[in-house]
């Protein structure tokens, strides 16, 4: 089973890649960290998108984990067009493009698995992060639409929405926000950040044949954050 993982050089993506069984094809920006994998592609989504598409087709990808993403914390009246374009491209357009290049092979073999890593911000909305919330909400809509298109081919596609996760990105998001980590934890029902291994475990389940009936779903792993407070 050939598995493509974007954003595999650190954080959630690295944890996912290390916990899946199969041939991992890692995609990211930091070559030094990607060298831990047998197969990898250094890719800037702004410049190397066609190269990524060719890489996907060449390696006959069975499973896609769209994990790479970017975050900006900024009030809505201060955002710029380049910021809107950058986050929309990385968080929504590129995952859609990756899927489009992988689907012909998946359809030809009547099997495939796609997991998008969204965010609880795309489910609930996050004040001060409207671009991020919008792009991650878009992933959920895309997932539902594509699920209907490919169900007949034995292909499943789902989105996992993590809450606050104990990663470098999670911690840097705190640095950008107006709240301390202690204040954020106090608002989480389980009073903790989610661990990357929890996301990896759900990914492992969703790409298994045990989960073949699970498709088009938006699954929250957020320590209760989406339930209320």
3-state per-residue secondary structure call for the chain: CEEEEECCCCHHHHHHHHHCCCEEEEEECCHHHHCCCCEEEECCCCCCHHHHHHHHHHCCCCEEEECCCCCCCECHHHCCHHHHHHHHHHHHHHHHHHHHHHHHHHHHHCCEEEEEECCCHHHHCCCCEHHHHHHHHHHHHHHHHHHHHHHHHCEEEEEEEECCECCHHHHHHHHHCCCCHHHHHHCCCCCCCECHHHHHHHHHHHCCHHHCCCCCCEEEECCCCCCCC
Catalytic residue among 37, 55, 132, 229: 132
Residue 71 is among the residues annotated as catalytic for this protein: no
| Residues designated as active site | 132
């Amino acid at each position: 089973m050939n598995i493509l993982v974007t954003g595999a050089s650190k954080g959630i993506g690295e944890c996912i890649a290390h916990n899946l069984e199969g041939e991992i094809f890692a995609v990211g920006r930091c070559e030094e960290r990607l060298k831990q994998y047998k197969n990898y592609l250094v890719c800037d989504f702004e410049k190397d998108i066609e190269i990524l598409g060719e890489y996907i087709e060449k390696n006959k990808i069975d499973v896609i984990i769209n994990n790479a993403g970017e975050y900006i914390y900024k009030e809505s009246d201060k955002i710029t067009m380049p910021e809107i374009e950058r986050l929309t491209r990385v968080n929504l357009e590129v995952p859609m493009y990756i899927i489009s290049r992988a689907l012909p092979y998946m359809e030809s073999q009547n099997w495939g698995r796609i997991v998008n890593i969204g965010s609880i911000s795309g489910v609930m909305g996050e004040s001060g992060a409207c671009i991020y919330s919008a792009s991650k909400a878009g992933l959920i809509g895309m997932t539902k639409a594509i699920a209907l298109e490919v169900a007949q081919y034995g292909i499943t596609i789902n989105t996992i929405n993590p809450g606050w996760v104990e990663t470098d990105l999670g911690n840097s998001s705190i640095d950008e926000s107006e709240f301390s980590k202690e204040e954020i934890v106090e608002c989480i029902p389980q009073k903790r950040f989610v661990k990357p291994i929890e996301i990896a475990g759900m990914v492992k389940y969703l790409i298994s044949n045990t989960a073949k009936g699970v498709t088009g779903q938006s699954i929250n792993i957020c320590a209760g954050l989406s339930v209320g407070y």
